[in-house]
Structure 1
């Protein structure tokens, strides 16, 4: 067992000697979503480091922080590789529902593609509260988890040959586009994501360099903390309270360990 494998298992709470099979990925994805938050504190606090395997281990598994998509999916990719999976990383472009278009920022989302028994599946641990929590086949079949329904549709648009769609539990009545991606533009070198990190940190259109954001899934739904509010979804019921700087600091530690 490698260092990353052992630390990752410790971080999400799975036995160090348990064999990781494709059938067990559902459980592992749920544990990952509930234990490793999606957050942008390094961006907001100007603590950015190069995207390398060593730096990701230090940040997410040793210091037990969270991260954004290019960090969370990269570390999960390494975990899959160490456990014998046929996995690669792919970049995508997230759909802007407010503007009703794909942003000009470009391909700033990172996801994972796994090939198993001749079929390709998408795995995503870095899409905030929109996680499928299960491998989603590129064949178009609908996957249902505790977080909602998810599918991937073939696409002939300029932004990718596939589109990831979701219908979140309690939140969506119709299918929504998550992001488009190219299944044939893949990488195994996470240093390529330094360009994405620079865009996220510096571009005026980036929504992750304006205010702190921390979110993770829970057994009942999800929790989201910003510097102005704390939102909880519990069994379909949402509550929201105002937060100031002092409360933000206390709650980030209480609910996220950050």
Structure 2
């Protein structure tokens, strides 16, 4: 990995030591600089879960991605910087409180100073700072109050402002374990990623999201939404708000080549 190029992508100088303060800063900068987005699914681009492919997309092409991509590459960066970082699978809670399928999400656990820390730069709105996995009390974060509770089989339930987000496995997994589910997320008509188009990142005052032609900005808790009326305006929004230059716009949900099964997953 070209660590210098990755750190430049994040706007971060080479850290002095792999400590908690540096980890906190890296997570903040990753969330601010690299958007959570599913554009590849609606551009007909395959989702490739290899370090080289992810580096080319996120660092060289200055794109974002979804959980497997963002946390997969960020974990590799953390290891290159001397952290004990591993991917862990999670099941996302549905609105009705039931759990999604296994490996529905990938997060990072960092073992540091005899503590385990949950780090996640690939879940959309989530914590901006590492969360202590062994904590029994609520943990305050700029994006809300998090509570981590013991769950069956040694897993951990993660709650944001009292609402369950996902159930985290305790055992680590290699990135390759997530390939089949990443393919399902990118191709299945039942996947919410094929049903919606999103590009989002936190800002110093809230969050900015581009969903199709809708630009949504939340500033100090106040939501502002505007409909962009031309392709030129949508391209400009991608470039200005997310640093993404697109030669063509993603097709509407349901019409992407990936959802029609014309592309196959690229296995590592």
Question: TM-score if structure 2 supplies the norm length?
Answer: 0.85
The corresponding residue for 1:79 is 77
Shift of 1:122: 0.9
1:221 aligned onto 2:206: yes
For 2:17 and 2:186, locate their aligned partners in 1 and report how far apart those are by CA, in whole Å. 38
The corresponding residue for 2:176 is 191
The corresponding residue for 1:135 is 130
Shift of 1:42: 0.6
1:117 aligned onto 2:113: yes
Provide, for residues 190-240 of structure 1, a one-character-per-residue CA deviation record: whole Å limited to 9, x for no partner: 222211211111122211112320000011110011114111111111111
For 1:146 and 1:50, locate their aligned partners in 2 and report how far apart those are by CA, in whole Å. 32
Provide, for residues 52-78 of structure 1, a one-character-per-residue CA deviation record: whole Å limited to 9, x for no partner: 010111000111100000010011101
The corresponding residue for 1:207 is 192
Query: Do the aligned residues in 2 keep the contact of 1:10 with 1:16 (CA within 8 Å)?
Result: no
- Give the alignment partner of residue 178 of structure 1, picking from 160, 165, 182: 165
For 2:201 and 2:183, locate their aligned partners in 1 and report how far apart those are by CA, in whole Å. 24
For 1:116 and 1:17, locate their aligned partners in 2 and report how far apart those are by CA, in whole Å. 16
- Count of aligned pairs: 242
SS of 1:209's equivalent in the other structure is: helix
User: Is the alpha carbon distance of 1:142 and 1:125 closer, same or farther for their aligned partners in structure 2, counting shifts above 3 Å?
Assistant: same
Provide, for residues 163-203 of structure 1, a one-character-per-residue CA deviation record: whole Å limited to 9, x for no partner: 11112xxxxxxx1111012112x22x322221121111112
Shift of 1:83: 1.1
The corresponding residue for 1:251 is 237
1:65 aligned onto 2:57: no
- Give the alignment partner of residue 41 of structure 2, picking from 40, 43, 54: 43
Query: Do the aligned residues in 1 keep the contact of 2:32 with 2:202 (CA within 8 Å)?
Result: yes
User: Is the alpha carbon distance of 1:240 and 1:129 closer, same or farther for their aligned partners in structure 2, counting shifts above 3 Å?
Assistant: same
Give the unaligned 5+ runs of structure 2.
245-268
* RMSD after superposition: 1.7
Greater relative contact order (Cα 8 A, min sep 6): structure 1 or 2? 2
Give the unaligned 5+ runs of structure 1.
168-174
Shift of 1:10: 0.2
Shift of 1:145: 2.1
For 1:212 and 1:243, locate their aligned partners in 2 and report how far apart those are by CA, in whole Å. 15
Question: TM-score if structure 1 supplies the norm length?
Answer: 0.88
SS of 1:208's equivalent in the other structure is: helix
Shift of 1:18: 3.9
Query: Do the aligned residues in 1 keep the contact of 2:104 with 2:181 (CA within 8 Å)?
Result: yes
